[in-house]
Copies of this chain bind each other. A is one copy, B any other.
Amino acid sequence: MTYCVALKLNAGVVMLSDTRTNAGLDNISTYRKMFFFENPGERVIGIMTAGSLSVTQTALARIHEAIHHDEADETTSIMKAPTMLQIATIIGNTLARTRREIAGQFQDLQASAASASMIVAGQRAGGEMRLFLIYPEGNFIEATDDTPFLQIGEHKYGKPILDRVVRPETSLADAQKAVLLSMDSTLRSNLSVGMPLDLAVIAKDECRVGTMRRIAEDDPQFRAMSAAWSEALRESFIKMPI
């Protein structure tokens, strides 16, 4: 499995993904699930992926190919499309087509074996910053002020902390804490989500990736935060009246 989460705040977007991929419990690998397409200052597009690696890798390769194709135009290239909505549509169509083709290759198995979803975040100069969750069928939903975060993969363990602390006015610094704590809860409760992590921040109107950090298993900062949070929870728990 996978856990990817993105927050859309007044100040920008924060994205976090794990890197664990498994084909069965005895075949575990590390694969990047966060990708950027960037023309700094003009547009930035971040994509996170969950689900069948064969689907997501092929879909991303096709998105990439379409950008560099001789006849790339604004209906096929996410680097030429004029709006984030059209970018999400291109990505959704590519994902859906890839998923259908691969699912067709093993009709005997469950279709879910070839499922995949994506989170797409970004901004074009002059446009709004937007955040989408793209379903396996290519349709998508968008984050709003009421629901400023989107998750794919193993989303349940890490949702309570987000429900409690994330608001559109949350700062980018607090947002990074929130997604890391959400991931920490998921890592502790589910083996199929694993380190290292990829964390990225896109500040509003900058149209470029600001912070981009890979957090390794032995990252002292993340370990300290994880330990401090456990300690804080235990202390709060002990002090809690019954």
Chain B: CB-nearest residue to A161: B233
- Report chain B residues within 8 Å CB of A189: 156, 159-160, 163
Chain A: number of interface residues, binned into ranges: 35 or more
Q: Quick check: is A56 within 8 A (CB to CB) of the other chain?
A: no
Assembly stoichiometry (copies): 2
Interface string of A179-190 (1 = CB under 8 A from B): 001000110111
Q: Is A224 interfacial (CB 8 A cutoff)?
A: yes
Cβ contact within 8 Å between A159 and B160: no
A185: chain B residues at CB < 8 Å are 160
In the complex, A224 Cα to B173 Cα: how many Å? 30
The residue in chain B whose Cβ has the minimal distance to the Cβ of A232 is B236
Type the 1/0 row for A119-153, where 1 means its CB is closer than 8 Å to any CB of B.
Answer: 00000000000000000000000000000000000
Minimum CB–CB distance from A62 to chain B (whole Å) comes to 33
- A28 at the A/B interface (Cβ < 8 Å)? no
A-B contact list, 26 entries, CB within 8 Å: A156-B157, A156-B189, A156-B190, A157-B159, A157-B160, A160-B185, A160-B188, A160-B189, A163-B188, A164-B188, A164-B230, A164-B233, A164-B234, A164-B237, A165-B234, A165-B237, A173-B242, A174-B238, A177-B242, A178-B237, A224-B241, A225-B240, A225-B241, A225-B242, A228-B240, A228-B241
